[in-house]
Structure 1
């Protein structure tokens, strides 16, 4: 399992958590260990598994949320906001995944001592929205600025400052990232009761200004 999963790997991770309705990180890691052992008697590469989980979270193939009432952030991070302590946070299939049960995983419900879960869809949607908004802000903040400072064009003794006319601050915009987020906004709205029109409008305007 590579550190950056392909769609198949993300779909299989989503398929494993979907068998239970949701799994904590520790439970998911144990499930991966069981699948690896049943496949060829080998232990799972813990670093690769962790990388695959994080990449699937980044791609919204998995969504991490904190069940209500635990006193933690809805996105699964701890109250300090560092996001390193999952605690009782659950991973559930995300909007970009097509969950599929990997080979040798069919018996996991009989192996793991985990009761079926019924995730709070409102809390799951809220966590996904918070994560999406954070990604939107990160991308839009990245489009500002003009490199390392003002640029100049020298024509003889004529020195023209700041060649990006009109204070264009879209020089560093990541158009592909913006397009991906626009597509993701539609996936999220189809997957959960979310309204992301305002955020999508900001993204479209940033793309048009690029």
Structure 2
């Protein structure tokens, strides 16, 4: 599943834990008559986090995944049924909190980035500034030095 689809699923709820998202993906596969491969699902989620389609925030003593700054959330086929299937209460995350989390994550990633990854992260900084109230000029400068 691509990053935009994963973002669409978590957006249905405002955010999901990894376990809840895993359960949602299993339920979605069942509803669609598809085989569910937990390893593939885990790899898809990890990739979406790495590429900023999803962002992990700490919320109510748990880590919750929310749509990230590069995502254009879209719902996969049959996903609209998920809120009726999963026992998950809607969540909300403040934009200021998201700004803090994305800044910290980009600063950390920028410290180790080079080449293609650094160029990708520069693009992410622009997306993040449009997505949340955050200024990332200093992160771009760090990435330009790489």
Kindly report structure 1 stretches of 4+ aligned residues shifted beyond 4 Å: none
- Counterpart for residue 113 of structure 1: 87
Q: Contact between 1:61 and 1:97, CA under 8 Å: does it hold in 2?
A: yes
Is 2:132 the counterpart of 1:189? no
Alignment of 1:1-210 (within 5 A): 1=1, 9-40=2-33, 42=35, 44-67=36-59, 70=61, 88-139=62-113, 174-204=114-144, 206=145
Give the whole-Å Cα distance in 2 for the aligned partners of 1:11 and 1:180: 17
Q: Contact between 2:111 and 2:142, CA under 8 Å: does it hold in 1?
A: no
Structure 2 gaps of 5+ residues are none
Query: Which structure has the larger Rg over C-alpha atoms?
Result: 1
Higher helix proportion (structure 1 or 2):
2
Give the whole-Å Cα distance in 2 for the aligned partners of 1:175 and 1:97: 22
Tell me the TM-score normalized by structure 2. 0.93
Give the whole-Å Cα distance in 2 for the aligned partners of 1:15 and 1:177: 25
Number of residue pairs aligned between Structure 1 and Structure 2? 146
Question: Which of the pair has the greater relative contact order for Cα pairs under 8 Å at 6+ separation?
Answer: 2
Give the whole-Å Cα distance in 2 for the aligned partners of 1:198 and 1:129: 10
Give the whole-Å Cα distance in 1 for the aligned partners of 2:40 and 2:50: 15
Give the whole-Å Cα distance in 2 for the aligned partners of 1:97 and 1:114: 22
Q: Contact between 1:66 and 1:123, CA under 8 Å: does it hold in 2?
A: no
Q: Contact between 1:20 and 1:114, CA under 8 Å: does it hold in 2?
A: yes
- Counterpart for residue 147 of structure 1: none
Q: Contact between 1:125 and 1:194, CA under 8 Å: does it hold in 2?
A: yes
CA RMSD of aligned residues (A): 1.5
Q: Contact between 1:21 and 1:116, CA under 8 Å: does it hold in 2?
A: yes
Give the whole-Å Cα distance in 2 for the aligned partners of 1:122 and 1:194: 8
